[in-house]
Structure formats: C-alpha cells, structure tokens
Amino acid sequence: MKNIIQPVKGTRDFYPAEKAVITWLWSTIREVSESFGYQEFDGPYLESIDLYAAKSGEELVKEQSFVFPDKNGNLIALRPELTPSLVRMIAQKQQQLFYPLRWWSFGPFWRYESPQKGRGREFFQWNADLIGVDSPEADAELTALLASLFQKVGLGPDQVKVFVNNRRLMENELAELGIPEDLQGSVFRVIDRRDKLNDSDWKDYALKMGLSESQFSGVQALLSADDLWKKSPELPRFFEAADALGVAEYVAYSPRVIRGLDYYTGTVFEAQAITSKVRRSIAGGGRYDNLLADVGGQPLSGVGFALGDMVLSVILDELDLLPLNRDASPAQVMVTVFDEDSQLAAYQLSAELRKAGIPVYTYPTPDKLGKQFKHADRIGARVAVILGPDEIREKKVAIKDLSTREQFTFPREDAPKAILGLLENGPSA
RNA sequence: GCGAGCGUAGCUCAGUCGGUAGAGCACCGCACUGUGGAUGCGGCUGUCGCGGGUUCAAGUCCCGUCGCUCGCCCCA
C-alpha cells in the first residue's frame, strides 16, 4: 500500500463512479450545445508555447502552463485554454469556412496551480463560441446557451446567475472620471478584487495602483451603479434578447464583472453560484474583436465562454444534483450461475439475451444463490435470471424482480420479452 | 510562491497524563445446500505517512521530511 506510486499532484482518478459523472456532464453539454445548433470540434492537447505567448494573459503562460521541450528543443505546452487553438484553426481556413461558426468543445486542460476545492491541475472545460456575428444578440445567445445547461442539470436562477458587463462601457466611464487609458488595465484589476478585499484594504490597493481620491470614489460609485447598463448602447439590446431567449431570470447586470483575460473587448460575463460556499466562478466569457487579426487573420469578431467541470461538480454535489446510481453496472440484468454443470448454459442464455438487445451481467462462478442475489443488489441490477436443473429440464427460465422479490417462470423463448417488460415497468434508475 | 490544519484497519474516525492498538461501517463465514437488502454469533484486516531525536517506554512530546486538505495569489 505504501509503495504505490503517488498520482501526479492535482490530477484525479476517474473510478467508474466519477467517470460516470464526467460522461453524464459531457453528454448533457452535447445535448444543450446541439439544441442551439453548435457543432463539436476539438484542438490538439499539445500546442507550441508561441501560440499562447501571443495574447493570453502573461500569468497564464509564464506561471500556469505545463511546458516542456520536445526532442528538437521546441517548447511545447499542455493547453491551458482553448481559445488560442480555436483562433488558429479558424485563421488557417478563414476563407474556406462559412460564417457564422457555432462551435463547442469539451476536453481536458492543464494549469500548474496549487490544487484546492474546485480546482486541480488537470480539469475539463466546456467551450462554446459564436464567430462572425458582432451583435448584442449574439452575446445573449451565448449566455442563453450557458443558462440552458444550468437549467438542464437542475440549477435554477435562484442558485446560479450569469453576471454581465461591458468593457467599452466601463472604459468610457473610467475616461469620464479622468482616468488615463494606460491606467485602465490596473483599474480593471482593482475592480476585479472588489469582492476579495475589505473596504479599507481595497481602497489602499486602489490608491496604490495610482488612483486619486476623487477617482477612487468615482470608481466606488460605479460599482454600485446597478443601472449603469442603460448607458451602454449594447447592453439594453443584450437584455432584451436574453429575455426573448427565455433566460432573463438567469442573467443580471453587474458593474463588478470585468474578467481577467486581456483579449475581451466588449460584453463580458461570468457565471457564479449564489448559494454555494464556493465563491469561484463557474464559467466566464465575453466578446473578442481582435483575436483573428492578432494571429494574422482578417478581422473577425467572436463571442464565447468556458465552463470548468470542477467548480460545477462541487456545486452540483452540494445541491445533490449529481446523477444517482453512479456506481451501478450498466447492465440491469444479472444471470446467475446455478452450479458447475449449468455454468455454460447460463453463458449461453446470457448470449441469447444480449442478442435480443439486453445488456447482461453474468455472475462468474457457481456460488450460493443467496450470495449471487446479494451481488446483484450491489451492482445495481434490477432483474435476476435463474437457470437451474428444473428450468433446464422444462426449457424454462426463472426471472426475478429484485425490487419486489417476485419471481416468475417463463418458457425460454419468451424470456427476453418478459425481461424487457419488467425493465420498462419497474422504477427508473 | 505564502499561510493554516490533518496523516492510525479497505472506508469514517476514537485513542485521556507517554505505559505494549480500538470502534462503527465494509468484507468473509455460520445460523440458512434453490433465493438477496433484516437480525444474531464468529472471523479477517495495521510500516500509527516516512526519517531522526528525547525517554526505561512514543500513535502520543521535539526536529525534519513527504503527502493530502483548506485558504491567499490567480483563474474555469
């Protein structure tokens, strides 16, 4: 036990119960994405470090990426985010693709950070992007897509919210306060920290970043201006569209949302749990106008978001919204093995049932029936099939409903139909 | 990178003032040789994270180290 090599820090082992959760999440995401007409795509997990040097935040590349040299000495990164790969893929075929693109992806990402609740070094992300439409309505569609996942997994608008803001709006407001353009980035960081520091620490931080007293109180006022969105040419249209898309309950304006990544240029949004103890954001996204041009493509506007699996899982777990029976066998039918002589007959019957389209778990050894039934309970089977000497002699099989403990005998050829009947009627898993 | 807490049976944990290691659950067996979730009885399980030190004696105290967890930072 002590000699087992430790797993790599920040990685997770997906035992069947955990794998079932990620598979469920993936397929739910697929359903929601496809319901909006988005196509699945993926990029490579390995990328040249140069791809990220171009535009991702400094910190993300320098501090938080897994980087190693290949045999030629080129620096390769395990992808810490998807957007640069997406942009590269589009730029490579920019003339061949037809727009708008509605693409989604789900896959692993790596960041070298210290693991804690809701954060690891290897995690999954859902990415969705709408490329080639520059409108508040397109922004609203992305938040609607995000909200639809929340709806689908059982998270209501009283539990999660998508907070929305607009960078251009904020830039204008800061300019009106007399804050020079080269200070805006710093002020965005000040805003980003509002909820993390207490009042006086926050003020100290703001002044240290170069704000004057009057500019500081101006920023302070901005952050409680809950109807600031009305001054934006885009946000009123955004909220009307969100309303039309049926997700008005899920979206809310927040002047405090600003997003860390440098490449956002317009509307930005961030999904947060309202009730959870975990204050980390579930998903974040926004509009980027310059990414394609930055990598040498024609200018093309896009909007997208990323959602991490770890924070979402924590929240779903807290609210008891993860799928049940995560550890059950995918087969709901278990064929017992009565004794050594009839073992192969049990195998044969199993094969017949599978041919009829029924997933079957065959008990591996001729143990006492009691033990086999107990095992059937443990693997989550709902039906047990018994083929003993009596049944074999009469060309019958006994079929037992494990939840009601009722048992019936059927002619062998009727067994598949009888089992399917039981599975249909019984309580759903 | 910084700070705090925790490492004892497969799991969750107890272990007093330093005195030779415990409980519940799980598992196995029996009661019960063609029938499971209950009950009773019996059984199995330990590098007390690792290394050093103090001591007649260390799970317990000290030092170091590794690991995990939770925060800070940053972000999904």
Using a 7 Å CB cutoff, list residues 218-247 of A near strand B: none
- Separation in Å, CA A197 to CA A200, A202, A356: 8, 5, 63
Which among A142, A115, A140 has a CA at the least distance from the CA of A127?
Answer: A142
CA of A71, C1' of B12: distance in angstroms: 48
Distance of C1' in B19 from CA in A90, Å: 74
* pLDDT interval class at A426 (50, 70, 90): low
Would the pLDDT of A260 be above 80? no
> Does A378 contact strand B, using a CB cutoff of 7 Å?
yes
Sequence-ordered alpha helix ranges (H) in A159-234: 167-176, 181-192, 199-208, 213-223
The pLDDT score that the predictor gives to residue A57 is: 54
Whole-angstrom Cα distance, residue A43 to residue A105?
9
pLDDT digits 0-9 by tens, A387-421: 999 999 999 999 999 888 889 999 999 999 999 99
A57 CB contact with strand B at below 7 Å: yes
Q: Which residues contact A370 (CB under 8 A, 6 or more apart)?
A: none
Provide, in whole angstroms, the distance separating residue A349's CA from nucleotide B40's C1': 38
Secondary structure of residue A129 in the 3-state scheme: strand
Tell me, in Å, how far CA of A376 is from C1' of B66?
A: 42
Q: Answer whether A31's CB lies under 8 Å from A61's CB.
A: no
- Rounded CA–C1' distance between A405 and B36, in angstroms: 9
**A24 in Cβ contact with A89 (< 8 Å):** no
Q: Give the pLDDT mean for A316-327.
A: 84
Lowest mean pLDDT among A45-59, A85-99, A115-129, A380-394: A45-59
- From the CA of A80 to the C1' of B37: give the distance in Å: 47
Between CA A231 and CA A163, with CA A273 as vertex, the angle to 5 degrees is: 10
How far is the CA of A164 from the CAs of A102, A143, A250, in angstroms?
21, 9, 10
> What domains lie within chain A, and their CATH numbers?
16-318 (3.30.930.10), 333-425 (3.40.50.800)
Q: Identify the pLDDT of residue A429.
A: 41
Judge whether residue A2 has pLDDT over 60. no
Structure tokens at A61: 């590349």
pLDDT value, residue A261 = 65
Q: Classify A355 as helix, strand or coil.
A: helix
Query: What ipTM was estimated for this complex?
Result: 0.82
Q: Which nucleotide is nearest to A309 (CA to C1')?
A: B76
pLDDT digits (tens, 9 = 90+) for A54-85: 555 555 666 788 888 899 988 899 999 999 89
* CB-based contact A115:A10 (threshold 8 Å): yes
- Residue ranges in A63-198 assigned as alpha helix (H): 83-92, 136-152, 167-176, 181-192
Most confident of A109-118, A146-155, A317-326: A146-155
Distance A230 CA to B74 C1' (A): 32
- What's the token pair of residue A277? 């103890």
Q: How far is CA A382 from the centre of its chain?
A: 31
The per-residue pLDDT for range A281-302, each reduced to its tens digit, is: 899 999 998 888 877 888 899 9
Looking across all nucleic acid strands, the nucleotide with the smallest C1' to CA distance from residue A377 is: B36
Helices marked H in A193-296 — which ranges? 199-208, 213-223, 235-244, 291-294
Mean pLDDT, range A218-234, rounded to an integer = 88
Report if CB A123 to strand B is under 7 Å.
yes
Helical residues (DSSP H) of A49-135, grouped into ranges: 49-55, 58-62, 83-92
CB A192 within 8 A of CB A219: no
Q: Angle CA(A83)–CA(A87)–CA(A90) in degrees, nearest 5?
A: 140
What is the structure's pLDDT at A101? 96
Highest-pLDDT range among A18-22, A144-148, A312-316, A379-383: A144-148
pLDDT at A44: 95
**Cβ contact A370 with chain B strand, < 7 A:** yes
* Window 262-321 of chain A: CB closer than 7 A to strand B: 270, 277-284, 306-308, 310-311
Integer CA distances (angstroms), A328 to A19, A333, A382, A400, in order: 12, 11, 10, 18
Q: Which of residues 321-340 of A touch strand B (CB under 7 A)?
A: 338
Please give the single-letter amino acid code of residue A393. R
